[in-house]
Amino acid sequence: MRACVTGRNGEGKSTLLKVIAGRLEPDTGEIIRAPGLKTAFLEQEVPSDRPGTVAEIAGSGKYISQLELNPAAEFNSLSGGMRRRVLLARVLADEPDLVLLDEPTNHLDVASIEWLEAFIRRQTETAFLFVTHDRAFLKSVSTYVYDLDRGILSGWNCDYRTFLQRKADLQADEAALWARKAKKLAQEEAWIRQGVKARRTRNQGRVEALRKLRLEFANRRAAIGTSTLRLDTAAASGDRVIKIEDVSFAYDGGEPVVRGFTADVLRGERIGVIGNNGTGKTTLLKLLTGQLAPTAGSVTLGTRVEMAFFDQLHAQLDPESTVKEVVAKDRDAVTVGGVTKHVFAYLSDFLFTPERARTPVKALSGGEKARLLLARLFLKPSNLLVMDEPTNDLDVETLELLEEQLMNYKGTLLVVSHDREFLDNVVTSSYVLAGDGEVRTCAGGYAEAARLLRRVKVDKEFKVDNVVKDPKDLTDLKDPNNAQAAAMPAKPRKLTFNEKRELDALPEKIAALEQEIADIESALADPAIYANDSARAKSLTARLPLAREELDAMETRWLELSERA
């Protein structure tokens, strides 16, 4: 089983996992575990200080290798994403029967997320129960949904896409039911308040029914209000927000993280910074915002730029301060968009009740901390919004609302994110880092950046002495007697007759393979296959990652042939 737990921030999803893991005891009831059950738990928070090397913490060399970790590296020297990989390797090392994952994709780069998706889908003997707000991950992995809504946990025997539709239908039915009950209550209240003559003859059964209806409404746990995030945009900046001229940067004399990058960030652009962990995304963001000085070149802010910054590690939040103090210090009101509001009213836009607003930061869930940081950030008028992993821990509803606000934002956006749907929905262009120091640019979001990274990978495989050649021509370049050929840039070779036929056939093959993958995912999403046809389930599970690899190779080949054509 691959089950996810859905629900809003603060509903208790992480608490539920901790109770199941035995780290918290339930107030009532009991947890019954199978004899000898081996459980592993990946917590949401990444430790800020944990001594030891990767090998000492992760344990198994198998997963250290698969997650591309350096076993000799000190844990405390790693980035947030690499630390997350180490903790994931530790969880998987003992080969548990039940794996509990609390926001497993937080801080992971896309390559690690896709590896984790494929790994989980391949497991037929291990059960996974996870909390995540990564919509692409949910759609790819989950075959069962537990929905935690207003304190009630319900199970949905379907994949995540089907759950969304069924939950929407259920909510519509629930709203219609309560609307009918509200109308009935109003009618009965009017009846009970009629004159003396009517009261003398009133039906006692009807009075009792009214009392029960009143009690039902009093005990009703209504849906929590909708978050109403609103970005406060400052006056417009100049047309050119940031001028980047031949910028390079290296740490302590090491290899350049950024090499010779030149670009202009223009007003109104929404730029995603995309790449795997360790390629320099956050470093680039700090260079562009003046938090780091380039080793060479220059970064110049344009005129009238007012910047606001979102930090992925929530370092701007004092754990001892209350939610209210973080937003307004000792004041009772805040001003946003020229309108003064009571601080509790403003915080209610971010789903904080007055009681929760008096809670210290250290008691908040990860999602609540993210919402609190957004609440403080949005009070600052800006025309340049810089966000480092803003989607971590946000519930789906808040995430979709944030997307809407960012798409309507009149200023300029720079954002680092590993959320594939978020990038595709929000950004208009991307800075793509492949780990070689070069910053490449492309239009669009993650889908376009992924294609660019695949092309870079192909180029690297066939590059010798900085000359890109067809694989058949590599032997010529390695011949020491052919120095002249090696020194000359290669001309693109025209397609042969067979390559033209191959190019014509590839779209149909790609479409067929995409359909096969979709059919396999649909079949594996049905829990019945594991009970009724375990052999087929095992076969399909083994076939799926191979089909994905074939698809990736076909797309790469199509790009190569298309460019030469």
Do 63 and 89 touch, CB atoms closer than 8 A?
Answer: yes
Is residue 473 over pLDDT 60?
no
Alpha carbon separation from 398 to 326, 371, 403 (Å, rounded): 20, 8, 9
More confident residue, 311 or 21: 21
Q: How many CB atoms lie within 10 A of CB 152?
A: 9
Give me 390's structure tokens: 């803003």
How sure is the predictor about 42, in pLDDT bands with cuts at 50, 70 and 90? confident
Lowest mean pLDDT among 49-58, 134-143, 248-257, 490-499: 490-499
pLDDT digit string (tens) for 332-381? Answer: 888 877 788 889 888 887 888 888 999 999 888 777 888 888 888 888 88
How sure is the predictor about 218, in pLDDT bands with cuts at 50, 70 and 90? low
pLDDT given at position 297: 94
What percentage of the chain reaches a pLDDT higher than 90?
19
pLDDT digit string (tens) for 403-413? Answer: 888 888 888 99
Is residue 490 over pLDDT 50?
no
More confident residue, 479 or 423: 423
Instruction: Specify the pTM.
Output: 0.60
How sure is the predictor about 461, in pLDDT bands with cuts at 50, 70 and 90? low
Residues 196-206, mean pLDDT to the nearest whole number: 58
- 392: DSSP letter: T
CB within 8 A of 384, min separation 6: which ones?
237, 241, 242, 305, 306, 307, 308, 411, 412, 414
Do 98 and 34 touch, CB atoms closer than 8 A?
Answer: no
d(Cα 468, Cα 9) in Å, to the nearest integer? 50
Is residue 229 over pLDDT 70?
no
Burial degree of 444 (CB within 10 A; 0-12, 13-18, 19+): middle
How sure is the predictor about 119, in pLDDT bands with cuts at 50, 70 and 90? confident
pLDDT digit string (tens) for 539-563? Answer: 888 788 788 878 878 877 887 787 7
Q: Phi, psi at residue 412, to the nearest 5°?
A: -110, 140
What percentage of the chain reaches a pLDDT higher than 70?
85
Q: How far, rounded to the nearest angstrom, does the alpha carbon of residue 22 sit from its chain's CA centroid?
A: 27
Alpha helices in 222-353 (DSSP H): 281-288, 323-328, 343-348
- 193: DSSP letter: T
Burial degree of 278 (CB within 10 A; 0-12, 13-18, 19+): middle
Beta strands in 238-303 (DSSP E): 240-249, 258-266, 270-275, 296-301
Do 369 and 317 touch, CB atoms closer than 8 A?
Answer: yes
pLDDT given at position 230: 62
Nearest to 113 by CA among 552, 418, 451, 456: 418
Nearest to 363 by CA among 7, 10, 8, 6: 10
How sure is the predictor about 235, in pLDDT bands with cuts at 50, 70 and 90? confident
Give me 187's structure tokens: 């009618």
Residues 246-265, mean pLDDT to the nearest whole number: 91
Q: How far, rounded to the nearest angstrom, does the alpha carbon of residue 24 sit from its chain's CA centroid?
A: 27
SS3 category, 241? strand
Residues 109-136, mean pLDDT to the nearest whole number: 86
pLDDT given at position 489: 42
Is residue 467 over pLDDT 60?
no
Q: How far, rounded to the nearest angstrom, does the alpha carbon of residue 218 sit from its chain's CA centroid?
A: 38
pLDDT given at position 120: 87
pLDDT given at position 368: 83
Nearest to 520 by CA among 550, 535, 542, 549: 542
- 471: DSSP letter: G
What's the per-residue H, E or C state across 503-538?
A: HHHHHHHHHHHHHHHHHHHHHHCCCHHHHHCHHHHH
Residues 416-430, mean pLDDT to the nearest whole number: 90
Beta strands in 7-77 (DSSP E): 39-42
Is residue 398 over pLDDT 90?
no
How sure is the predictor about 133, in pLDDT bands with cuts at 50, 70 and 90? confident
Pairing of strands 467-468, 463-464: antiparallel
Is residue 466 over pLDDT 50?
no
More confident residue, 314 or 450: 450
More confident residue, 277 or 333: 333
More confident residue, 526 or 319: 319
How sure is the predictor about 250, in pLDDT bands with cuts at 50, 70 and 90? very high
More confident residue, 208 or 426: 426
**Which of 206-210, 344-348, 488-492 is most confident?**
344-348
Do 216 and 184 touch, CB atoms closer than 8 A?
Answer: no
How sure is the predictor about 2, in pLDDT bands with cuts at 50, 70 and 90? very high
Is residue 69 over pLDDT 80?
yes
